[in-house]
Amino acid sequence: MTEHQPGIIRRFFRFIGRIASGIRALLSLLFVVFFGFVIAGMFADGIQSIPEQGALYLAPSGVLVDQKSYIDPVGQLMAPTNSGDNETLVRDIIEALDRARYDRRITHLLLDTDYMSGGGISKLQEIGAALSRFKESGKPMIAVGDNFNQQQYFLAAHADEIIINPFGGVMITGFGAHNSYFKDALDKLKINMHIFRVGKYKSAIEPFVGNSMSAEAKEETQELIDSLWQFYTSQIENLRQLPKGMIDDFANNLHLKITAAEGDTAALAEQEALVDRIATRSQIVTYLNQVMPGTDGKFNSINMRAYLNNSRLASGSTTNESKIALVVAKGTILDGEQPEGSIGGDTLAGIFADLRDDDSVKAVVLRIDSGGGSAFASDIIRDAISATQNQGIPVVVSMGSYAASGGYWIAAEADHVLAMSTTLTGSIGVFGVIPTVEESLAAIGIYSDGVGTTDISGMMQLDRPMTAQTKMIFQAGVDNIYARFITLIADARGTTPAAVHEIAQGRVWTGERALELGLVDQLGDLNEAILVAAKLAKISDYEVDYRRKPMNLYEQLVTQLNSNVRASMAGLGVQGLLPTSLRKQAERILKPLHVLDSLNDPKGLYLYCDNCPL
């Protein structure tokens, strides 16, 4: 009897079914592997406990920040395994140091700066203050590094002993502020940039209207970097007990000194008393085994993340009825809802609305680390802060690396404003930029034509020339926002618009100069701002409650799982292939274009400081 063969259609669907079954099996396997990594990561964090005696291993990675940038959970999983370490919270470092100084189990601090890429001098200043407090405990501090750039060395200089690799060096080259300028490129592309601004120092638009830095921008920027450089050099010289002017001489004559040292940069660093010891990695480990408490001949240590996890768990949760809410405003100020790492006008206003509804919140500390952005979004935030104050809740501002332009707009009316001496603030000015491409299109034979009911009916069409009426409208808007800006500051700071105008016009000031000019009330860090908030709220027993944009359940779950999965996968040696150095260079060159593309004010009016992130 002949076996009946199924028809071609049935065979086709059977084939599809087998493929579907295979896909389901593969997905099931991936699901099991995924959660295997999750569980491994969960237990990996909990394996290490604080040794009875040992060192706190402090190795900041990536950029020092006040708030980590949001990454979509799926994007986190697909990104290179080391990308989750691109940012380190400054407050975590400070908390670990302040806990460790009183912890009898922590006998030493081992500072490793090799993984840190930067973060701004004011953040280094805050961490440096915490390192100095730790040093007061009398516990030895040892800094190690393959190489030290300027920012890494600032932290290392706080150590009792600095050890460098024989192939390493200390590269102190001075501060600079350089930009890319696009005027000739825009002319060749026949793109017309229509600029509207108030303030001769408001230089954010200069890359689009010239091929070099203006005299005003050079004057302002030179004064800023000279001030910051003087702070940097004097700090290093005091910490290392070096002659005054030695660091400046080292940087200016680095080429001669390296030549005289026959290119041996490590030997040069030791000769100049910038480091105390030259040793290979294995020699460093041998030395640490000798000078630090250990087990079986190996020194004991615990990394910052594990130390904080253990310490926080031991402290337990608190149920204090009085809270000081800590809110971070980090990044460019944009309209609407925005993820962390940017400041959404609606997002931050929503956080303040929630605080007003929380009876346990007695004061708010707003940590600002922003060069500004949208004028409209800035005022949405200012209004939310004002509503919070009107409800009897004091608001204290702590300025980070910069709180300028729109960042200062949202700070001006606070009950008390603190800045670091190296904070960049001010930049009180307004600008708008509208490009039109009618000539670019005409060059390839594309034209715009039509009719309208008014002379300005097509004013927002970028393929048409900008009319004189349109230019008047935009300039009037810029003038109006500037007038509001200086009036807002005058009312908040107890002065006059005319007096504010004298120190405004887009000029950027350091925190030290801002205090002299009356733009801030006090020099101090985040911890001091919290103490001021407690005093204003008349409370002595309180807890600090870090408030952030709420994540939905999916984001919370996947973000937490990703941190464990990625920690486990990193052990497999999976790394990204993107050349980071090239990416960073491209970001620097194209920064002005990126800023122009990212800002989203409804009226195209901006309170943004381009010179702030020096």
Closest alpha carbon to 536 in 397, 413, 393: 393
Q: Which helix (H) or strand (E) holds 465?
A: none
Question: What's the rounded Cα separation, in Å, for the pair 64 and 62?
Answer: 7
Residue for token digits 């380190």? Answer: 88
DSSP 49-74: ---SSEEEEE---EEEESSPPP--HH
Q: Which two tokens stand for residue 514?
A: 């801002």
Question: What's the rounded Cα separation, in Å, for the pair 329 and 402?
Answer: 11
DSSP structure class, residue 180: -
Taking CA atoms, 459 is separated from 454, 474, 604, in Å, by: 10, 11, 13
Inter-residue contact 607 to 405 (CB < 8 Å) = yes
**Helical residues (DSSP H) of 80-141, grouped into ranges:** 90-100, 121-135
User: Are β-strands 62-65 and 416-419 bridged in parallel, bridged antiparallel, or unpaired?
Assistant: unpaired
Task: Count CB neighbours of 347 within 10 A.
Answer: 22
CA torsion 276-143-130-132 (nearest 10°) is -20
Question: What's the rounded Cα separation, in Å, for the pair 355 and 547?
Answer: 9
Any idea which residues carry the catalytic annotation?
202, 405
**Phi, psi for 608 (deg, rounded to 5):** -135, 135
The residues facing 366 across adjacent strands are 327, 397
Inter-residue contact 436 to 408 (CB < 8 Å) = no
Q: Which two tokens stand for residue 264?
A: 């041996």
Inter-residue contact 377 to 406 (CB < 8 Å) = yes
Question: What's the rounded Cα separation, in Å, for the pair 76 and 81?
Answer: 9
**Residues in contact with 451: Cβ distance below 8 Å, sequence separation at least 6, in sequence order:** none
**Phi, psi for 142 (deg, rounded to 5):** -120, 130
- 90 SS3 class: helix
The CA angle 72-74-77, to the nearest 5 degrees, is 110
Taking CA atoms, 499 is separated from 285, 489, 490, 491, 515, in Å, by: 60, 10, 8, 11, 15
Task: Count CB neighbours of 497 within 10 A.
Answer: 18
Strands laid side by side in the 62-65 sheet: 87-89, 62-65, 116-118
Task: Count CB neighbours of 194 within 10 A.
Answer: 17
Inter-residue contact 369 to 329 (CB < 8 Å) = yes
Question: What's the rounded Cα separation, in Å, for the pair 407 and 485?
Answer: 12
Question: What's the rounded Cα separation, in Å, for the pair 369 and 465?
Answer: 38
